[in-house]
Amino acid sequence: MVRDKSYLLIPGPTPVPPAVMAAMSKPMFGHRTQEFAGLYHRVVEKLKLVFNTRGDVFVLTNSGTGAMEAAVANTVSPGDKVLALITGNFGERFANIARAYGAQVVEVNFGWGNCVDLKTVEEKLALHPDTKVVLATQNETSTGVVNDIRGIGSLVSQTPALLLVDAVSGAGAIEIRVDDWGIDMLCTASQKAFMLPPGLSMITVSPKAWEVVQSNSSPRFYFSLPACRKNIEKWNTPYTPAVSMFLGLEAALDMMLEEGLPNVYARHALLARATRKAVLELGLQLLAPDHCASHALTAVWGPRGIDADELRQVARKEYKVAFAGGQGELKGKIFRIAHMGFCDKTDVVVAVSALEMALARLGWPVELGRGVKAAQEVFLKAV
Ligand code: PLP
C-alpha cells in the first residue's frame, strides 16, 4: 500500500481521476454482450468528437506503440517509400517501425528541440513523388515540441501519400482535426491526456487509407485493421478487449466533453504558459522555442553544472514530485514537466515550488518563491 502523498508530473502515465478509477472498478462483464457493444459504440462516438472525424475509429488493447505499429503494418508494404519527419525520440521510433516492415525510409531530421519545417516537407515531397506514406509526430514528448500537423496535412493531401500521425501525447491536450487536416491515420493512447492507466490505444482510418489497407501486403494478425472493421459492425473487437479500461475511457471522455474541448485545450495552454514563465524566472533555459512549444509538457535544460537527473532525484525523494528525464541524446541534460490530462493550476504551483527547493538543495542560486510567483501571476491574469 502506497502511503506517501506524491505528485506525478511525467508525460505518461499521468494521474487518473477518481471518477475514472471508480468506473474501472465496476464488476466485470463479458465482451461478447450487448453491454459491451453499447459501451464500445458510445466510446467511439465520443472519440469522434475529440478527433473531429466522421471516419472510422478503433480502440485497441495495447499501448500507443501498438497503434503506431497497426498504422504501419496496414499501410506499408515491403519496399514502399516512407518519408519520416523526425523531431525527436518518437519520430525515430515511428521510422524504426516502418523499417521493421521493410519500408525504404527517407528520414528528414529536423533536430531534437526543433519542429518540422513545412518548406522542407514540401521540397522532400517534390523530390520523392513516389512516397507512399508520411510519418509525423503531433507532440514530440522527448523534446516538448508540437508540430504543425495542419500544415503537414495540407501538403501531404495534395499527393497520393498517406499521412500517419503519432498523437500519443498530444490528442486530448492539443486540438487535432483528423478530417479537416487530412490525417489518414491518427494514433493515440490512454495514459496521457486521456487520464487513464496505460493499456489502450486509439486509431482512426480515413477512406483514403482504407484503399491502401485492402491491398497492403505486410503480414498482420493482432494488428489487422480489416479484422477490427469486420468486428465493429457488431460493436465488438477481434480479441478480448481490456473491458475495465473501456469503462474508464468512457468516464474520462465524459469528463473532457463536460469541461468542453475548447476549455480543455485552453487549460493546457494556460498551464504551459505558467510553467514556461516560472522556469525562465528561475534562470533556467527552455528547450522548445516559443512558436512550437507543447501545451502538454515543458522540457527544461538542466542548470549549468548540475546533472538534470540528480535534480529530478532530489525533487522525487525529498518532495515526492516526479519529473521525467531526458531521452536519447538529451539524457541527463534536460528534465520534463508534464501538465497534461488530470492537471490543474495548483499542480503547476506544486511542481514549481518543488523545483525551486530541489535547485536550492543542489546549490543553484535560486530566489525561493520567484518561479511560484511568476506562475501565480499568469494564473491570476487569466481569470
Ligand atoms: N509516441 C509518443 C509521442 C509518446 O509520447 C509515446 C509514449 O511516451 C509513444 C509514442 C509510445 O507510446 P507507448 O509507450 O504507449 O507505447
Task: Residue 317: give its domain's CATH number.
Answer: 3.90.1150.10
% of residues, the chain, pLDDT over 90: 98
Tally Cβ neighbours within 10 Å of residue 89.
Answer: 18
| 338 and 223 housed in the same domain | no
Question: How many angstroms separate the alpha carbon of residue 251 from the centre of ligand 1?
Answer: 22
Q: At 163, which CATH number?
A: 3.40.640.10
166 lines ligand 1 (CB under 6 A): yes
Would you say residue 4 has pLDDT above 90?
Answer: no
Domain boundary among 233, 257, 281: 257
Please work out whether the CB of residue 199 comes within 6 Å of at least one atom of ligand 1: no
| C-alpha cell recorded at residue 136 | 509525423
**Residue 326 falls within a domain, yes or no?**
yes
127 lies in some domain: yes
Give percent of the chain with pLDDT exceeding 70: 99
**Three-state SS sequence of 268-293:** HHHHHHHHHHHHHHCCCCECCCHHHE
110-118 mean pLDDT = 97
Instruction: For a ligand 1 pocket test, name from 60, 63, 85, 90 the mutation site with the most ligand atoms within 8 angstroms of its C-beta.
Output: 90
Is the pLDDT confidence value at 1 over 80?
no
154-175 core/surface letters (b: 16 or more CB in 10 A; e: else): ebbbebebbbbbbbbbbbbbbb
Q: Do residues 199 and 190 make contact, with C-beta atoms less than 8 angstroms apart? A: yes
Pull the grid cell for residue 221: 494478425
The rounded distance, in Å, linking the Cα atoms of 189 and 173 is 12
My answer on whether 251 and 285 are in the same domain is no
Rounded CA separation 40/63 (Å): 18
Q: Taking each helix axis from N to C terminus, what angle separates 64-75 and 225-232, rounded to the nearest 10 degrees?
A: 100
Residue 294 Cβ contacting ligand 1 at under 6 Å: no
The domain boundary, picked from 203, 225, 257, lies at 257
Average pLDDT on 3-19 reads 95
Q: pLDDT digits over 210-252, tens only?
A: 999 999 999 999 999 999 999 999 999 999 999 999 999 999 9
Q: Cα(168) to centroid of ligand 1, in Å?
A: 6
Co-location of 40 and 80 in the same domain: yes
Q: What is the extent of the structural domain holding 110? A: 18-257
Atom of ligand 1 nearest to the CA of 170: 3
Our mutation pick for probing the ligand 1 site, out of 89, 139, 168, counting the most ligand atoms within 8 A of Cβ, is 168
Residues 185, 292, single domain; the answer is: no
Q: Place 262 in a pLDDT band, splitting at 50, 70 and 90.
A: very high
**How many residues can be counted in the chain?**
383
- Region 187-197: what's the mean pLDDT? 98
Please say whether the dihedral angle defined by the alpha carbons of residues 156, 158, 159 and 160, taken in this order, is positive or negative.
positive
Measured from the CA of 141, which atom of ligand 1 is nearest?
A: 5
**Domain-located, residue 151:** yes
- Regarding whether 295 and 206 lie in a shared domain, the answer is no
Instruction: Tell which atom from ligand 1 comes closest to the C-alpha of 12.
Output: 8
Q: Ligand 1 pocket, 138 CB below 6 A?
A: no
Count of beta carbons in the 10 Å neighbourhood of residue 61: 18
Q: How many other β-carbons are positioned within 10 Å of the β-carbon of residue 199? A: 20
Identify whether residues 152 and 193 lie together within a single domain: yes
Task: Determine whether 3 is exposed, middle or buried from the number of CB atoms within 10 Å of its CB (0-12, 13-18, 19+).
Answer: exposed
Opening angle at CA 273, ends 271 and 278, nearest 5: 95
Residues 249 and 267 in one domain: no
Q: Cα–Cα distance between 191 and 15 in angstroms, integer?
A: 9
Residue 114: DSSP 8-state: B
Strand runs (DSSP E) across 157-294, as ranges?
A: 162-166, 185-189, 201-205
Contact 59, 47 (CB under 8 A): yes
Q: Are residues 247 and 336 located together in one domain of the fold?
A: no
Whether residues 265 and 233 fall in one domain: no
Q: Is the per-residue pLDDT at 376 higher than 90?
A: yes
The two counts, helices (H) then strands (E), for the chain are 13, 14
Between CA 287 and CA 329 the distance in angstroms is: 13
Residue 260, burial from CB neighbour count under 10 angstroms (0-12, 13-18, 19+): exposed
Predicted local confidence at residue 3, as pLDDT: 74
Measure the CA–CA gap between 87 and 91, rounded to whole angstroms.
6
Question: Cα(64) to centroid of ligand 1, in Å?
Answer: 5
Q: From the CB of 143, is ligand 1 less than 6 Å away?
A: no
Nine cell digits for residue 70: 497497426
Residue 297 lies in a domain: yes
pTM greater than the 0.85 cutoff: yes
pLDDT of residue 291: 96
187 CA to centre of ligand 1 in angstroms:
10
Kindly state whether residue 46 falls inside one of the protein's structural domains: yes
CB neighbour list of residue 21: distance below 8 Å, 6 or more residues apart = 248
pLDDT value for 336:
98
Q: How far apart are CA 333 and CA 283, in angstroms?
A: 16
Using one digit for the tens of pLDDT, what is the confidence trace for 144-176?
A: 999 999 999 999 999 999 999 999 999 999 999
CA of 65 to the centre of ligand 1 (A): 6
Give yes or no for residue 16 having a pLDDT over 90.
yes
Q: Which residue matches cell numbers 478509477?
A: 21
**What is the position in ligand 1's atom list of the atom closest to the CA of 63?**
15
Choosing from 141, 194, 294 the residue with most ligand 1 atoms within 8 A of its CB, the one to mutate for a pocket test is 141
For residues 23-33, average pLDDT: 98
Residue 353, all three cell numbers? 515550488
Q: How many A from CA of 90 to the centre of ligand 1?
A: 7
- Is the CB–ligand 1 distance for residue 141 below 6 Å? yes
Categorize the per-residue pLDDT at 383 as very low, low, confident or very high, splitting at 50, 70 and 90.
confident
On the question of pLDDT at 143 being above 80, the answer is yes
383, three cell numbers: 481569470
Among candidate residues 232, 257, 282, the one where a domain is terminated:
257
pLDDT digits (tens, 9 = 90+) for 51-87: 999 999 999 999 999 999 999 999 999 999 999 999 9
The Å distance, Cα 12 to ligand 1 centre, comes to: 8
Q: Does residue 336 share a domain with residue 237?
A: no
Q: Is residue 194 part of a domain?
A: yes
Note whether residue 2 is domain-resident.
no
In the block, residue with C-alpha cell 482512426: 204
| Statement to judge: residues 181 and 161 lie in one domain | yes
1 inside domain:
no
- Domains contained in the chain, number: 2
Residues 266 and 292 in one domain: yes
Q: Is the CB–ligand 1 distance for residue 64 below 6 Å?
A: yes
CB atoms within 10 A of CB 348: 27
